[in-house]
Homo-oligomer: A and B are copies of this chain.
Amino acid sequence: MILKSQVEWALHCCAILAGLPDGRYLSTKALAEFHGLPKEYLSKALQGLSHAGLVDTSLGPSGGYRLAKPPADINFLEIVEAVEGRQRTFICSNIRANNPCRPKDYCESSPCAVARIMWEADEAWREKLRGVRLSDLVGILSQEIPPQLWKSSFEWVLERAG
């Protein structure tokens, strides 16, 4: 059980978009080049973000993506679910129903105990992601990345932002 690499890409791309001035767009091409990723495939991750309403798109030259909401209003879970899907990581196929001793008219009332426990863990994971905002990530990055690199990266992006 491993998250798609698209999740990593989407998070990094959102971090870049968060630093974009209001009204500017950044294209898939620029994002792909900046991260050294296949442009065509990265676009699928960005499509997921677009579909989830996290980013706005613009067509034509100087078009691309920008955040649809302020970075403080976007959390990690939204981004992860936009790419990875919203279904739980544990699927209960209710194998207890195959118990040969089970009476035929017997019908389970509550979900399987095993599933409930697994779902609780799943929810703990989601809750943790829900608690981290995109703005938090930007804050961390701005402290960790050397000012020189931060500045030049910002300029690199602005040169290509439409």
User: Measured between C-beta atoms, what is the minimum distance from A59 to chain B in Å?
Assistant: 26
A7 at the interface (CB under 8 A from B): yes
A36 CA to B100 CA in the complex, in Å? 8
Binding site for B on A (CB under 8 A): 1-5, 7-9, 11-12, 15, 33-37, 76, 84, 87, 89-93, 95-103, 106, 110, 113-115, 117-118, 120-122, 124-129, 132, 137, 140-141, 144, 146, 148-149, 152-153, 156
User: Measured between C-beta atoms, what is the minimum distance from A146 to chain B in Å?
Assistant: 8
Stoichiometry (number of copies): 2
Q: Can you give 16 contacting A-B residue pairs, CB < 8 Å?
A: A1-B4, A2-B89, A8-B115, A12-B96, A15-B114, A33-B100, A34-B100, A35-B99, A36-B95, A37-B98, A76-B117, A100-B156, A102-B149, A113-B144, A118-B129, A120-B128
A132 CA to B93 CA in the complex, in Å? 21
Given A2-B87, A156-B101, A129 contacting B125 (CB threshold 8 A): no
